[in-house]
């Protein structure tokens, strides 16, 4: 196949990728979009395999078979709650692939001394550097989310200095390559240094901030793919990489805004390392909470006109998505309006909670984003909070001393009655006290979310 034909067919792939992202603007057509993107990818792969002068088909076929087996096995078996880890893992392997491409290209281009143009060596440097950071960083993010490593930030004195020194090493190696130094070992050393930096960079970031890291590393892999596109003079790599880079960057910024924290604070602030342990004492300063029972909650719900559920990751941990959907259906049969209010950082990555509820067959038009649900809450009779904590903490609005002050929250305290289903009064992931629990209109139902919802459903049926 000639270069022109190849490039034209690559253009078709580019169009399918753009449409795939375009179709994601509504859940109705999103799936078709993804299939279209997959078809475009298949086309690009077929076109590449049909290129003139390509050899080694046996090895390529074997490698693709192994890769496909790994990909399908992983993608099929992963639980929806473990989705963030899976995304991190697939992201990492993509970054690893780019770093290896850079190594092989350097090896193939350097036997001709002085022939390496500046843009080629810069492209090699960027692919190797960014790809490797993405690879090792993603693996650490995976290990943290999978709880193979502690989710707490791992910090030590002088950490920023060490990280800076390692990154500087990598950049010096890169500068040597650009300056024309040769030898495969140079790229190997660059990749090794970048891998170490990826590990060191992610270790001090807490488990709760992993989604931001994954999204950032996703952008990294995209940019690395673009750099590889410059290296191989391949437009489809450049465009696809740029699309991913833009998407990852945008999501990273959105998440930072949803938590009211700068990206610098997320990456270098070691959030969650310091406040641990301070939370329990705050609950004992004379304020009282009102406890309620499943029976009472059932009666409250039965006489409401509009009910809003605010789920958090705790709901998914308790595997209670299906139970809450069953309860919601019971309420709807009684003619009660049911909505779900979902904070942008509920769950462990943006939009994760929506996926978990969709898995339980909750129709997506009942899932409301924070701004929408905040308009509904003043007319809502009962809000039930399931495993969420910081995202409904009114201290974010009023207490300038709170670590989450300024974070946009779901204003549950504007509804008629608030019921918090929670195992105990312990503070949430970030260890921050929640004044909502002591609000006179709040009742606490101390129980496991799943058990509590089952009891409420049973009581409701018996009414």
What part of residues 440-459 is at the interface with other proteins (CB under 8 A)? Answer: none
Give the residue among 302, 378, 383 at the shortest CA–CA distance from 336. 302
Give the residue among 190, 46, 68 at the shortest CA–CA distance from 126. 190
- The verdict on 81 binding other proteins (CB under 8 A) reads no
- The verdict on 82 binding other proteins (CB under 8 A) reads no
Q: Decide if 205 contacts 270 (C-beta within 8 A).
A: yes
* Interacting residue with other proteins among 359, 376, 399, 439 (CB under 8 A): 359
- The verdict on 5 binding other proteins (CB under 8 A) reads no
Which of the residues 280 through 319 are near other proteins (CB under 8 A)? none
DSSP symbols for 422-462: ESSS---TT----GGGGSTTEEEEES-HHHHHHHHHHHHHH
Considering the complex, state which of residue 67 and residue 180 has its C-beta at the smaller distance from other proteins. Answer: 67
| Segment interacting with other proteins, rule: CB under 8 A, options 75-83, 193-201, 293-301, 414-422 | 75-83
Q: Please give the Cα distance from 341 to 328 (Å, whole number).
A: 13
* Interacting residue with other proteins among 2, 4, 57, 285 (CB under 8 A): 57
- The verdict on 93 binding other proteins (CB under 8 A) reads yes
**SS3 state of residue 338:** strand
- The verdict on 86 binding other proteins (CB under 8 A) reads yes
| Segment interacting with other proteins, rule: CB under 8 A, options 199-207, 233-241, 292-300, 308-316 | 233-241
Question: Which residues are bridge partners to 418 per DSSP?
Answer: 383, 442
CB atoms < 10 A from the CB of 233, how many?
12
Question: Which residues are bridge partners to 342 per DSSP?
Answer: 369
| Segment interacting with other proteins, rule: CB under 8 A, options 40-48, 146-154, 267-275, 432-440 | 40-48
* Interacting residue with other proteins among 9, 81, 85, 101 (CB under 8 A): 101
Using only the alpha carbons of the chain, give its radius of gyration: 26
- The verdict on 148 binding other proteins (CB under 8 A) reads no
- The verdict on 263 binding other proteins (CB under 8 A) reads no
33: Cα within 13 Å, side-chain hemisphere: 14
Establish whether 209 is a catalytic residue.
Answer: no
* Interacting residue with other proteins among 27, 269, 394, 416 (CB under 8 A): 27
Q: Please give the Cα distance from 99 to 326 (Å, whole number).
A: 48
Which of the residues 237 through 256 are near other proteins (CB under 8 A)? 237-248, 250-251, 254
- Which entry of 184, 361, 371, 390 is annotated as an active-site residue? 390
Catalytically active residues, by annotation: 390
């Amino acid at each position: 196949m000639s270069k022109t034909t190849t490039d034209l067919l690559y253009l078709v792939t580019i169009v399918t990728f753009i449409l795939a992202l375009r179709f994601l603007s509504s859940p109705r057509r999103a799936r078709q979009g993804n299939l279209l993107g997959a078809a475009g990818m298949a086309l690009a792969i077929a076109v590449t395999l049909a290129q003139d002068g390509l050899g080694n088909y046996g090895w390529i076929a074997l490698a693709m078979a192994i890769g496909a087996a790994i990909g399908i096995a992983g993608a099929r078996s992963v639980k929806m709650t473990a989705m963030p880890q899976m995304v991190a893992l697939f992201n990492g392997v993509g970054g690893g692939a780019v770093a290896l491409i850079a190594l092989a290209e350097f090896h193939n281009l350097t036997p001709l001394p002085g022939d390496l143009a500046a843009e080629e060596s810069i492209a090699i440097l960027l692919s190797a550097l960014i790809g490797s950071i993405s690879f090792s960083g993603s693996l650490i993010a995976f290990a943290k989310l999978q709880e193979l490593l502690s989710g707490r930030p791992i910090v030590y004195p002088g950490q920023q200095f060490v990280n800076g020194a390692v990154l500087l090493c990598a950049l010096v190696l890169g500068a040597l390559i650009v300056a024309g130094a040769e030898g495969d070992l140079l790229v190997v050393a660059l990749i090794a240094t970048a891998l170490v930096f990826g590990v060191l960079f992610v270790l001090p970031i807490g488990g709760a901030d992993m989604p931001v890291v994954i999204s950032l590393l996703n952008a990294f892999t995209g940019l690395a793919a673009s750099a590889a596109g410059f290296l191989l003079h391949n437009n489809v790599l450049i465009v696809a990489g740029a699309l991913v880079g833009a998407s990852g960057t945008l999501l990273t910024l959105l998440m930072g805004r949803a938590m009211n924290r700068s990206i610098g604070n997320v990456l270098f602030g070691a959030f969650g390392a310091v406040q641990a342990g301070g939370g329990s004492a705050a609950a004992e300063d004379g304020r009282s909470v009102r406890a309620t029972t499943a029976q009472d909650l059932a009666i409250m719900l039965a006489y409401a006109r509009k009910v809003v559920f605010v789920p958090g990751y705790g709901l998914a941990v308790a595997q209670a998505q299906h139970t809450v959907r069953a309860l919601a259906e019971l309420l709807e049969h009684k003619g009660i309006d049911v909505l779900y209010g979902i904070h942008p950082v509920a769950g462990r990555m943006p939009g994760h909670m929506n996926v978990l509820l969709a898995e339980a067959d909750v129709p997506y038009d009942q899932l409301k984003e924070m701004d929408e649900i905040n308009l509904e809450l003043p007319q809502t009779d009962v809000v039930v909070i399931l495993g969420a904590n910081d995202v409904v903490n009114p201290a974010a609005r009023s207490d300038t001393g709170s670590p989450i002050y300024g974070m946009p929250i779901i204003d549950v305290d504007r509804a008629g009655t608030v019921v918090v289903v929670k195992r105990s009064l312990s503070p949430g992931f970030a260890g921050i006290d929640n004044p909502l629990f002591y609000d006179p209109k709040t009742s606490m139902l101390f129980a496991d979310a799943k058990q509590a919802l089952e009891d409420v459903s049973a009581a409701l049926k018996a009414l």
